[in-house]
Amino acid sequence: MPAHRALVTDLMWLHRTMPTVSQVKTFDLKVLRDARKDCPRRISWAITFLRAYALAAEEFPSLRRTYLSWPWPHLYEHPETVGNVVVSREVSGDRWLFFAPIAGAETFSLERQQGLLERYQSGPVEEVFKNQVRLAHFPFYVRRLLWWLRFHWMRGKRIKRLGTFAVTTVAGQGVTILDPRAPVTSTLTYGPMNEAGQCDVAIAYDHRVMDGKEVADILNATERIMQTRMVQEFHDLTWQRRSRASAA
């Protein structure tokens, strides 16, 4: 297995025992789209969704919970969110997929989170994804042992490496992921936005941790946050940027 596919293979191996279910809702984001477009600082949709989803986790603690099977089946609730954005990078002619962790997205500003994402997207791969690149070159059985220990035993390292949730999308290519899979409690994805400012948003979740009714509530809450608080945050960021420009 080439190194650039080793991590994906490992993650799918971890996911194989997770009973995940996907639910989809169409979000109306026209007002947010316009507020984002007017903002002088470019904030990606991935960060916008990450921030809104992390804020929803304050209302729904299940988004910070993880099922652990060792030494006995139980749920662990992390004190803060750790969102992992799936980032595609080219390394020596090969396409790699990396997890870019952003901790405390419910606390830090959109601008700070965007800066972190841009470092993950353009910084030296050997620095920003040092541990993932190194792990990908380990022998097969060493990788699987390390993943098993992190996944089932070392809950702190599991959250640090994998996060409490993931965000992945190929909406920029005009495509919607129907069944996103990652070894985390929930994975959020969204499709391309139409002219009316609507897009399909899906959450794949571990059914051992959450049920369909709660996930429906989470989708509704995330849309509400994007229609209200996120719009206000973009307006505030626009005002701050223009005030700085005027002062300069």
pLDDT (0 to 100) of residue 185: 97
Between the alpha carbon of residue 88 and those of residues 19, 58, 81, 129, the distances in Å are 26, 29, 22, 12
pLDDT (0 to 100) of residue 77: 95
pLDDT (0 to 100) of residue 150: 87
Mean pLDDT of 216-222: 98
What pTM, to 2 d.p., does this model score?
0.95
User: What is the Cα Rg of the chain in Å?
Assistant: 18
Mean pLDDT of 45-72: 96
213, 58 contact by CB (below 8 A)? no
pLDDT (0 to 100) of residue 172: 95
Mean pLDDT of 212-234: 98
User: Which domains are assigned to the chain?
Assistant: 3-239 (3.30.559.10)
pLDDT (0 to 100) of residue 244: 81
pLDDT (0 to 100) of residue 1: 83
- Angle at which helix 30-38 crosses helix 45-59, to 10 degrees, equals 120
